[in-house]
């Protein structure tokens, strides 16, 4: 039986909800999404690619993490990104996250120019040495144009302040290799950022999954996690197929950025947050939105907080002032 490590399980890479296109953090949606996630007993990862981290201003990042920390009240683990090309900004964010009670910081490499292996090694070492929080490495070649070399990750895994790797490189051989190297290590977790292969990864021995579709269906991923962990492959595969259908709704035939706009549009249809994304990302086009609306009805997805309810709540508040 596989040991359950402290950094493990279903970790949902949360969207960053905005109340307006200008990027103001929407505290009310934050609270709603947090309750939705905690109800299904999953952990939260803020300011990853799904959280539009590199597009959010410093003030926005701080506001988001504070808002989530307030809403969570230490009921679940909160991981938060510090990725930046500016090392000083990463360190400032991490100091702030530590004050707010964040469990660990997550960082991908600076990606503006190609780095050599020893530059990656030194970068992460200097970050981990200076951080007031444990560090999780974040491998996402689709945006950073760097694949973290496995040998370098192995060296970094020995650092006392580096506790895991979130790997979003969509390569099954690499994933198996990572799990074979570190799956049995009690002090280093392998987290898989490839939602479509969640069930496989858990059965291969991954410590956690980080699926963006978990913003919508945290409960299904939680059941998938439990089924895969208890070697109930059939249930795990069924749940995987169910979640894949929802992932397809907003990911199929879209760029990574386009899928973020579609995810938020879908969450907005379900009453979880507003559809705003930070420019240059564009909101979903009307015809795509129509398609999503039909799909929400066809698939009978659960909605969380209807617009009508929100309007009813807003009206008395306004009349009181």
CB of 101 to another protein, least distance (A): 25
Identified binder of another protein from the candidate list 120, 192, 220, 262, rule CB under 8 A = 120
Identified binder of another protein from the candidate list 113, 160, 173, 287, rule CB under 8 A = 113
Report CA-CA distances (Å) from 7 to 67, 123, 215, 298: 22, 22, 19, 36
Please report, as residue ranges, which positions from 140 to 169 form the binding site for another protein (by CB under 8 A): 143, 145
Identified binder of another protein from the candidate list 279, 299, 302, 314, rule CB under 8 A = 279
* 23 or 183: CB nearest another protein: 23
Please name the helix (run of DSSP H) or strand (run of DSSP E) that holds residue 154, with its range, or none: helix 150-156
Q: Which two tokens stand for residue 131?
A: 């951080």
CA gap 249, 262 in Å, rounded: 8
* 88 or 311: CB nearest another protein: 88
Please report, as residue ranges, which positions from 48 to 87 form the binding site for another protein (by CB under 8 A): 49, 52, 54-58, 85-87
CA gap 270, 255 in Å, rounded: 22
The piece of 5-13, 155-163, 272-280, 294-302 that touches another protein (CB under 8 A) is 272-280
β-strand partners of 107: 137
The reply to whether 287 sits near another protein by the rule CB under 8 A is: no
* 127 or 192: CB nearest another protein: 127
CA nearest neighbour of 15 among 48, 43, 58:
48
Identified binder of another protein from the candidate list 64, 96, 109, 201, rule CB under 8 A = 109
Q: Which residues fall within 8 angstroms of residue 201, CB to CB, at 6 or more apart?
A: 175, 179, 192, 194, 209
Q: Which two tokens stand for residue 12?
A: 């949902």
Alpha carbons within 13 A on the beta-carbon side of 169: 23
Applying CB under 8 A, the residues found at the interface with another protein are: 22-23, 49, 52, 54-58, 85-89, 109-116, 118-120, 122-123, 126, 143, 145, 255-258, 260, 278-282
């Amino acid at each position: 039986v596989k040991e359950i490590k402290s950094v493990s399980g279903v970790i949902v890479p949360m969207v960053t909800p905005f109340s307006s296109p200008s990027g103001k953090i929407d505290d009310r949606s934050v609270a709603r999404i947090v309750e939705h996630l905690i109800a299904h007993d999953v952990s939260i990862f803020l300011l990853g690619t799904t959280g539009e981290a590199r597009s959010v201003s410093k003030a926005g990042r701080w506001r988001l993490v504070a808002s989530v920390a307030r809403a969570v009240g230490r009921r679940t683990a909160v991981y938060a990104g510090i990725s930046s090309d500016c090392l000083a900004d990463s360190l400032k964010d991490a100091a702030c996250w530590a004050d707010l009670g964040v469990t660990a910081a997550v960082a991908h490499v600076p990606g503006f120019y190609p780095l050599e292996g020893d530059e990656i090694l030194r970068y992460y070492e200097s970050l981990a040495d200076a951080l007031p929080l444990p560090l999780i490495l974040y491998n996402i070649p689709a945006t950073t144009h760097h694949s973290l070399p496995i040998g370098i990750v192995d060296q970094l895994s020995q650092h006392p302040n580096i506790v895991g790797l979130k790997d979003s490189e969509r390569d099954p051989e690499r994933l198996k290799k990572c799990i074979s190297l570190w799956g049995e290590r009690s002090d280093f977790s392998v987290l898989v950022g490839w939602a479509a292969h969640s069930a496989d990864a858990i059965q291969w021995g991954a410590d956690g999954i980080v699926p963006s579709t978990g913003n919508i269906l945290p409960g299904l991923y939680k059941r998938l996690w439990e089924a895969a962990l208890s070697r109930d492959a059939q249930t795990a595969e069924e749940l995987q197929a169910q979640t894949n259908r929802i992932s397809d709704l907003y990911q199929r035939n879209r760029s990574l950025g386009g899928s973020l706009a579609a995810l938020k549009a879908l969450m907005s249809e379900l009453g979880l947050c507003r559809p705003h994304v930070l420019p240059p990302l564009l909101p979903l086009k009307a015809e795509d939105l129509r398609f999503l609306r039909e799909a929400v009805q066809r698939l009978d997805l659960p909605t969380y907080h209807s617009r009508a309810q929100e309007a009813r709540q807003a009206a008395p508040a306004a009349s009181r002032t």
